[in-house]
Amino acid sequence: MGAKHFGARVKRLEDPALLTGHGRFVDDVKLPGALHACFVRSPHAHAKLVSIDSKFAMIMPGVHAVIAAADLPEPMRADPLPMLLPNPALSAARTQHALAREEVCYVGQPVAVVIAETRYIAEDAAAALIVQYEVLAAVADCRRAAEEGAARAHGDLPSNIASTFRLTYGDTDAAFADAAHVFTEGLWQHRGGGMAIETRAVLVSHDPVVDLLTVWSATQTPHIGRRTLADLLGRDLQSIRMIAPDVGGGFGPKAIFYPEEAVIPAAALKLGRPVKWIEDRREHFLCATQERDQYWEVAIAVDADGKIRGLRGRMLHDTGAFVPWGIVLPYIAASTVPGPYVVPAYRLETSVVFTNKVPTTPVRGAGRPQAVFAMERLLDRVARELNLDRAEVRHRNLIQPEQMPYEVGLLFRDGKPLVYDSGDYPRGQEKALALGEYESFRERQKAALDQGRFIGIGLANYVEGTGLGPFEGVTVRILPSGKVAVATGATNQGQGTRTTLSQIVADHVGCRLEDIVMTIGDTAAIAQGVGAFASRQAVNAGSSALVAGQAVRKQLIALAARTLAVPEYDIDLEDGQATSRRGNKPSISFGDLARLAQGIPGVSLPPGQAAGIEHTAYYTPSQAAYCSGTHVAEVQVDAMTGGVKILRYTVAHDAGRVINPLIVDGQVQGGVAHGIGNALFEWMQYDANAQPLTTSFADYMLPTATDVPTCTIAHVETVNPLNPLGVKGAGEGGTIPAPAAIISAIEDALSPFGVHFAETPLTPERIVAAMRAAGAYERLFAA
Amino acid sequence: MGKQATRVTVNGKSYARVVDARLTLADFLRHEINLTGTHLGCEHGVCGACTVLVDGRSARSCLMFAVQANGCEVTTVEGLAPDGKLSVLQQAFIDNHGLQCGFCTPGMLITLTELLRENPEPSEQEVREALTGNLCRCTGYAGIVAAALDAAQRLRGGAAKAEAE
Amino acid sequence: MKPAPFDYHAPRQLKEAAELLAKLPNAKVLAGGQSLVPMMNFRYLIVDHLVDLGGLDELRGIAVGDGLLRIGAMTSQRDLESSADVARHCPLMAEALRHVGHRQTRNRGTIGGSLAHADPAAELPAVCAAYDATIHAASVRGIRQIPFREFGTGFMTTALAPDEMIAAVDLPIWRLGHGHGFHEFARRQGDFAIAGAAALLDIGADNVVRRAVLALFGVTASPLRVEAAEARLTGQPLDAGAIRAAAAAAWLIEPISDIHAGGEYRRHLAQVLSSRALNDAARRAGIQA
């Protein structure tokens, strides 16, 4: 059976509609009679909510309602949003209420919502709401929050510690005790966000005739959202339909269930009219979950030849005011540190601390960039101290392909032992170095120096657990029209889900891509679903598409064989036709087969014939699928201004078998852009009272077209033995090692001055400050 | 406060409406005349998702009021391929994977339409500089830049062909 | 982020606009809107009346005469960018415009709007400071001239009265063959400058500097002429040492600090960029310093 679409650079089915302005994002959905919402949010990072007076708001023309916590239905009013990822290591599993009841814990926390004829009027009325607060002490810095006597992020909790946990294997004491060398680094990664260009959005309509609540949400996880909403409203699952239509970028923050996704449905039910809420960008800066803000103190013990004996340290993670996704994010970071290296002993103590900021949850990379930063900066240190080439140090420590499957010694966040299923790390590094012309770089560097230019090169490796469970489903059904209907719980925020799944289905079912009618992200289309996060859809939905496609293929062939009276092995399926290879090549269309499979009223189906031609598969992975890769960054630094330009960026990327190289390359390139943002630009700043300072795109810098070069990408395909497609996830590999590679390159460029860097984003100002402290400008200004 | 009459020609069709003075041009397009291809990503003039052509020049429709556009000709993404066939630039986006989620895409197309009209042979650097007013969070820009250069080449080839005929 | 309600007025003549501005309470002038409307959308600014100058063609235009480049306040930055007169007579402005925002903002943004908004990091006010421009401010009381030195009165504040608007700006032209240099440091292309330097040099016989201008922007509340640097250069032969000493004078400013950059870094950039701008001006004036 030809795999003519798998592995091909198939052009995306999603594109034509999006290019002609016919995408359908939540705000594009127009429901007659819809009202519009504006949330009123706490201006204080920590306060008691004393009272809300809506009288001036309610008398404004066009205002329909002001809803506060007291107006919400049970159990939404009393119960906090559910904790989706419980963990025994969580001592305070705090989540927020849909609308704050007594205490607000971060600037932007919603306290009420105004519903009006237009968003314009709703904002006017929101400004007229009188909300009384009693301001409480707020804690902004997680280092401070972890100390005794710090102001408490939650008034009723005994401390700000949400969780402490240790990940360890081997004997680190012994490893460090007689190591030839021990090096320590303190590292700091600042807060940032996913910052999709489309903000969050919720539109709700209630049909009282069938008591169906339809919710459109710019979410990555509509099935989870539906379940959560059902619990909060005390309704049956069947009475809610959640649809994720076109979604303008996800990157993690849209996988979370937010208070607004509960309050807007409550408002629609209360008012008996559709209600729409489109988040604005300032709200997004305040309330969409963020990432990073971790402090690491780590030490590495090595032999005289740079071989790792052990690694240990502490990590402090700022989780913000709540833990909607538990401790998944710091846990992933802590378990990612060993990476592709043989680390005989490991111990990391992690403290997860509450502060009065918006919560942190996984954003593209999900804690791994921080872990890779720690490991890679330590290896750079080893190289420098032992006067070894940085690539050589890594090479000496890489896990070899013959060691696969490789048991790291930890449990991964999926609850399973961290076992790398496949991978060829030395080959990946070698490929990246060759493509990035690492060997000849010293000549380029010297030539540049002669011209007064400072260029540098850096590399970094990573391993990433992708394809996480619990499952994802695909239904494939042949319609009487001959079209192939596909439904999946997988969703799409730009990763081309429709195209990649169509490629798989078309290959196995034997239809054309254009004959597939796919429903994505709609809870009405398939009973169970999980959604997009952790680079899991290619593995899970892809595998389900394969299983369902193969099952439908079998059914088509069996029925065609019976109907055409030829043996099954004579049947070919192509372009929606089942054709026998023999004789005068009798043929029957898929549509006709589908009709036959419906039978005749009152007449039994022939033996062996099932009802319809369809199959639903829910692939459940046994464990994560481990991707890996190597990045090589070449940069130029303006030593006088600290300005950094990325000259060249090379990636060797192993995501197992590649379904569509066009799409995978796009994911890597897009991921690198996020990595460049993390490394050089993106810093969500707060003041000492946990007031956010960067709340617009003018202050929070996203990389633009002149900041992100086109990467050279090489694919290393080590087949994943654990799923039928052999694929791994590809969404985050572009981001994970990028900050480490870029900072390493900047240090290399400025090596004549001996400056070192341990935090991101590495701004020009920080570079200049380091240069000044190292006395660099005495030399440079004299020149 | 102020409701005002305004007449705006959008993609060649004239729309006369009475609107709030504060209704932005972006909201006028999206909600008053139902052209939802123009998107709002920030409403403070940085992300460029709302870019349209006003009297032939690219502009951020979130920073204009519909009443300001009185008497103006506006082109939105829906007007780039009016006869239902994809334009050379749009096809180049498909061929070069120039979009992922599609939210920034209409703004990108408008900006590039203006660029290619004025500069039929842009360098890669010129394309990138022209695009700095449009943020993309999905593609890392590579596919967009490739699409622009590809479209420029095809348009020049087509122009040369037309000239030769 | 929708603006608060306002009444909209679209005068056809300057006289009408001045009358509206004089009589309407809490009224603001709308030029290109690229700075004003974001503030209205954020509701940092609540405006009751918006007086749109978009219909005032009399305020658009670029003309050269009497040793002046006269620019109407409503002239778009895009039109300035593509003007042959600006390129020829005010090359500093032509170069500065490459750093002003993005194409979309330059299409609608005006020189009058940029000058009236007076962002410390804006490029056009720095160019006007370098040229000792004259602002023509219009109101019901007529037109008055404000020398640019007196125009910026504080952080994003100007000498314009609440009912006054900029009608035009005159820039005295320097001799053809003068050198100009413009350097700014911004985090990304088109961003507001963290610091910037604009330099003009008129060099005479024996490489003696007849006239020198060094203006800094982004580092203080209004563009700053570094008079110590200008004095150091004027009347002396120009060489690398002179430029270094002049740039060092840029160190002696009192820089602002904000979330984008601290004062010390701005001070450092002021020196570095002054040196680069002066070197470019020297080279363009025909000297290899």
Contact A249 B134 (CB under 8 A): no
Q: Which CATH class is domain B88-164?
A: mainly alpha
Is C74 within the bounds of a domain?
Answer: yes
- The domain tally of chain C equals 3
How far is A771 from A766, CA to CA, in rounded Å?
9
Query: Tell me, what amino acid is at B164?
Result: A
Extended strands (E) in A11-145: 35-41, 47-53, 63-68, 103-104, 110-116, 130-135
Is C289 within the bounds of a domain?
Answer: no
How far is A266 from A2, CA to CA, in rounded Å?
51
**A417-465+625-783 matches A469-619 in fold:** yes
For residue C101, the chain B residue with the least C-alpha distance is: B133
Q: What is the mean pLDDT of chain A?
A: 96
Distance from CA of A686 to the nearest CA of C (A): 10
Tell me what pLDDT residue A608 has: 83
Q: How confident is the model at residue A1 (pLDDT cuts 50, 70, 90)?
A: very low
Contact C107 B67 (CB under 8 A): no
For residue C191, the chain A residue with the least C-alpha distance is: A698
Q: ipTM of this predicted complex?
A: 0.97
**Measured distance between the N- and C-terminal CA atoms of chain B, rounded to whole angstroms:** 59
Query: Do C225 and C280 have their domain in common?
Result: yes
Q: Please choose, from the candidates A550, A559, A574, A572, the residue with its C-alpha nearest in 3D space to the C-alpha of residue A612.
A: A559
Tell me what pLDDT residue A113 has: 98
A to C CB pairs, distance under 8 Å = 55
Q: Which pair of structure tokens corresponds to residue B64?
A: 């204009």
pLDDT digits (tens, 9 = 90+) for A416-442: 899 999 999 999 999 999 999 999 999
Tell me what pLDDT residue A84 has: 87
Q: Kindly report the number of other CB atoms within 10 A of residue A752's CB atom.
A: 12
Q: Which residue bears the tokens 């000498």?
A: C159
For residue B100, the chain A residue with the least C-alpha distance is: A494
pTM of the predicted model, to two decimals?
A: 0.97
How many H-runs (helices) and E-runs (strands) does chain A carry? Answer: 20, 31
Contact B22 C6 (CB under 8 A): yes
Whether C283 and chain A come into contact, CB under 8 Å, resolves to no
Name residue A522's beta-bridge partners. Answer: A243
How far is B11 from B32, CA to CA, in rounded Å?
15
How far is A244 from C52, CA to CA, in rounded Å?
41
Q: Kindly tell me the sign of the dihedral angle through the C-alpha atoms of B141, B147, B151, B154.
A: positive
Region of B71 please: left (phi>0), alpha (psi -120 to 50) or beta. Answer: left
Whether C54 and chain B come into contact, CB under 8 Å, resolves to yes
Tell me what pLDDT residue A782 has: 62
Contact C185 A696 (CB under 8 A): no
Whether C6 and chain A come into contact, CB under 8 Å, resolves to no
| Fold classification of B3-79 (topology level) | Ubiquitin-like (UB roll) (3.10.20)
Tell me what pLDDT residue B82 has: 76
Q: Please choose, from the candidates A699, A648, A640, the residue with its C-alpha nearest in 3D space to the C-alpha of residue A672.
A: A648
Tell me what pLDDT residue C16 has: 98
How far is C97 from C116, CA to CA, in rounded Å?
17
How far is A444 from A450, CA to CA, in rounded Å?
10
Q: Look at residue C289 and tell me whether its pLDDT is greater than 80.
A: no
Distance from CA of B91 to the nearest CA of A (A): 8
For residue A198, the chain B residue with the least C-alpha distance is: B41
Q: Contacts of residue B115 in chain C, CB cutoff 8 Å?
A: 103
Q: How confident is the model at residue A609 (pLDDT cuts 50, 70, 90)?
A: confident
Could you say which of C33, C50, C52 has the minimum Cβ distance to residue B63?
Answer: C33
pLDDT digits (tens, 9 = 90+) for A461-504: 999 998 888 999 999 999 999 999 999 999 999 999 999 999 99
User: What domain range includes position C261?
Assistant: 179-284
Q: Which residue bears the tokens 């904000």?
A: C258
Whether C102 and chain B come into contact, CB under 8 Å, resolves to yes
Is C193 within the bounds of a domain?
Answer: yes
Tell me what pLDDT residue A769 has: 98
Rounded mean pLDDT, B84-93: 95
Q: Contacts of residue B22 in chain A, CB cutoff 8 Å?
A: 120
Q: Please choose, from the candidates C191, C170, C91, C184, the residue with its C-alpha nearest in 3D space to the C-alpha of residue C128.
A: C170
Distance from CA of A460 to the nearest CA of C (A): 25
Q: What is the 3-state secondary structure (H, E, C) of A702-740?
A: CCCCCCCCCCEEEECCCCCCCCCCCECCCCCCCCCCHHH
Q: Look at residue B17 and tell me whether its pLDDT is greater than 90.
A: yes
Distance from CA of B63 to the nearest CA of C (A): 5
Q: Where are the alpha helices (DSSP H) in A451-577?
A: 497-509, 537-564
Distance from CA of A61 to the nearest CA of C (A): 13
As a CATH number, domain A469-619 is 3.30.365.10
Could you say which of C6, C102, C108 has the minimum Cβ distance to residue B1?
Answer: C6
Query: Do C274 and C190 have their domain in common?
Result: yes
Query: Do C267 and C203 have their domain in common?
Result: yes
For residue A697, the chain B residue with the least C-alpha distance is: B46
Contact B76 A21 (CB under 8 A): yes
| Fold classification of A417-465+625-783 (topology level) | Aldehyde Oxidoreductase; domain 4 (3.30.365)
* Maximum pairwise Cα distance, chain C: 63
Q: How confident is the model at residue B1 (pLDDT cuts 50, 70, 90)?
A: low
Is C1 within the bounds of a domain?
Answer: no
Tell me what pLDDT residue A410 has: 94
Whether C174 and chain A come into contact, CB under 8 Å, resolves to no
Q: Kindly report the number of other CB atoms within 10 A of residue A599's CB atom.
A: 14
Rounded mean pLDDT, C91-101: 97
Q: Kindly report the number of other CB atoms within 10 A of residue A264's CB atom.
A: 28
Tell me what pLDDT residue C287 has: 85
Contact B4 C8 (CB under 8 A): yes
Name residue C138's beta-bridge partners. Answer: C143, C165
Please, are residues A634 and A456 in contact by the beta-carbon 8 Å criterion? yes
Q: Look at residue C212 and tell me whether its pLDDT is greater than 50.
A: yes
Tell me what pLDDT residue A395 has: 98
Contact B58 C8 (CB under 8 A): no
For residue A641, the chain C residue with the least C-alpha distance is: C269
Q: Contacts of residue A12 in chain B, CB cutoff 8 Å?
A: 94, 97, 99
Q: Look at residue A350 and tell me whether its pLDDT is greater than 50.
A: yes
Tell me what pLDDT residue A215 has: 98
Q: Which residue bears the tokens 């014939």?
A: A609
pLDDT digits (tens, 9 = 90+) for A681-717: 999 999 999 999 999 999 999 999 999 999 999 999 8
Q: Look at residue B23 and tell me whether its pLDDT is greater than 70.
A: yes
Rounded mean pLDDT, A550-559: 97
pLDDT digits (tens, 9 = 90+) for B142-163: 999 999 999 999 999 877 777 7
For residue A661, the chain B residue with the least C-alpha distance is: B97
Q: Look at residue A566 and tell me whether its pLDDT is greater than 80.
A: yes
| CATH number, domain with residue C51 | 3.30.43.10
pLDDT digits (tens, 9 = 90+) for A243-302: 999 999 999 999 999 999 999 999 999 999 999 999 999 999 999 999 988 999 999 999
Contact A697 B44 (CB under 8 A): yes
Domain positions in chain A are: 417-465+625-783, 469-619
A to B CB pairs, distance under 8 Å = 173
